[in-house]
Amino acid sequence: MKGYFKIVIAILCFIQSINIYSINSSEIEKIKIKFTSNTRMYTLKNGIRVILLQNKLSPTIACYIKIGVGSANEPFDQAGTAHFLEHLLFKGTRLIGTTNFKKESPYLEEIAKLGGEIDDLKLKIMEPLVDRKARDEYSKKIAVLQKQLIKAEQNASQFVISEEDSRVYSLAGQIGYNAYTSQDVTNYQIKLPKNRLELWAYMESSRFQDPVFREYYQERDVIQEERRMRFDSNPHSRLYELFNSVAFGFSPYGKPVIGYANNIPNLKLGDTRHFYDTQYIPSRMVIAISGDIDYEASLEIIKKYFEKIPDRPEPPSPPIAFEESLGRKTAELTADSTPYLITGWSKPSIQSPDSPAYEVLSRILTDGQTSRLVKKIVIDEKLAQSIGSESAVPAEKLTTQFAFFVAPYEEKNYGKIYDLINTQLDEIKKNGVTDKEIERVKNRIFKSVIDSLNSNAGMAELMSYYELMKHDYNYLFTYLDQIQKITSADIQRIAKQTFIEKNNTTVWINNNN
């Protein structure tokens, strides 16, 4: 079997070396067969799905864990919880991250009690009908409790081993130890020597079986500072947040992954623990390992550790779904910033059979200097520094947005740019696109996929993602095959059904200087 990978990689490298990226369905099927012959999938007793991809080109492994939980799963008053949990799950367990959990535990209980009381009092102060005298009393109590909390945190800190997991992995030769949270998923990833699989299985299963939310309130402050640095001080990020808020309202994609500035300080430990217990369930977890592995031995190691995580029932989905807009929505952000415009139209999720066609259309419009809108708006008209588009903003599990991101030279050109975008979309509605444009984009998409296949990490990332989103880790190859079949008529049809005024949301920056 290991020879198949060498053959496939050789083919891919040859294709890249001669700058040819086009491929037909039969060739895609050949590559798929070679890859799938090296892949095994299992489902553990608790529902965790495991994908093992054997690739013996180097004595390493890429280990990815994806959980089908993101900010879309949060209630609005707990916005930011999924991202916060990503941070907290690096804080260790009863054995990792502490010198003596038995002695640390009473202080953790005290911290939880004091922090909960402080959070409750802060919410009481926010109540509009509370009189001034009561507010003053609450503030005094908070001051007293805050001193006690600081003392308890200091007592607990004497037992904390900060970032012990990072130290362990570094000694084991890790590369790329990291995590991320999106609207749809939370991901934990690492690359290791192949003989460190059992270490990884122990460390990661412990993370999900026995997490201890150490330094909860200090970490909440860290998140607040991250919010200030990445969003509050960045007008373009704030505009993106405004776009999602206006486009999606109170549906799941309407809130920022990191949470709101005024609610991060009020995220309660009890609510965070409840969210973890109810949402981070085994049936939503996918493990993908790509590299120099033995299937049976690897599976036994994974079962040994990950089957200890107890199964839990599937929670209900968020009760509020995206509602079709009754008219075009616009908003303006006043900020000291260079001009920026975001405009988008609602479109179906990744489950739609038209999802690949939207990606092709996005690239026809803005991928490269020969794309329609880059050529028209940036090169010919010189109205903007850049224009880009994405076919699924901010994510793709639910109804989403086909959006354009434009950096104009001057604010006065917002209207003209919007009109030029619509002119190109109307042209596509009327006449479709050329075969040459479609072929160019198909080749670029194939190249980007080929690039991802050249690494264990790229394969683990894609297989775990598609297993969550499509319940098919091989969807990458189905996607390529679908891309090959897209015609001008397909592009014309989706343009007609999508780019209508009532589906549009547009936001822009107004520099107040």
- What sign does the CA torsion over 305, 308, 313, 315 have? negative
For all residues of the chain together, what is the average pLDDT?
92
**Cβ distance 391 to 362 under 8 Å?**
yes
Asked whether 377 and 417 are in contact (CB, 8 A), the reply is: yes
Residue 15 is predicted with a pLDDT of 40
Write down the pLDDT at residue 17: 38
- The pairing of strands 186-193 and 60-67 is antiparallel
Residue found under tokens 């007008």: 235
The vertex-60 CA angle with 59 and 64, nearest 5°, equals 155
Q: What is the pLDDT of residue 52?
A: 97
Contact 290/191 with Cβ under 8 angstroms?
A: no
* pTM of the model as a whole: 0.91
The ranges of the chain with pLDDT < 70 are 1-25, 27, 513
Closest of 219, 211, 223, 226 to residue 115, by C-alpha: 219
Measured CA to CA, the distance from residue 377 to residue 417 in angstroms comes to 7
- Alpha-carbon span 460 to 64, nearest angstrom: 6
Residue 150's identity, in one-letter code, is I
DSSP string, 397-447: SSSEEEEEEEEES-GGGHHHHHHHHHHHHHHHHHH---HHHHHHHHHHHHH
Q: Which of 418, 427, 442, 429 is nearest to 364 (CA)?
A: 442
Per-residue pLDDT tens over the stretch 146-167? 999 999 999 999 999 999 999 9
The token pair that represents 264 in the structure block: 């991060």
CA torsion sign for 254, 255, 256, 260 is: positive
CB 212 within 8 A of CB 98: yes
- If phi > 0 it is left, if psi is from -120 to 50 it is alpha, else beta; for residue 393 that is beta
Asked if 151 and 217 touch (Cβ cutoff 8 Å), the reply is: no
Q: Give the integer Cα–Cα distance in Å for 126 and 116.
A: 16
With 0-12 / 13-18 / 19 or more C-beta atoms within 10 angstroms meaning exposed / middle / buried, residue 137 is: middle
* Residue listed under structure tokens 């079709």: 324
pLDDT attached to residue 22: 55
What pLDDT, on a 0 to 100 scale, did the predictor assign at position 513?
66
Neighbours of 387 (CB within 10 A): 23
Q: What is the pLDDT, as a whole number, of residue 12?
A: 47
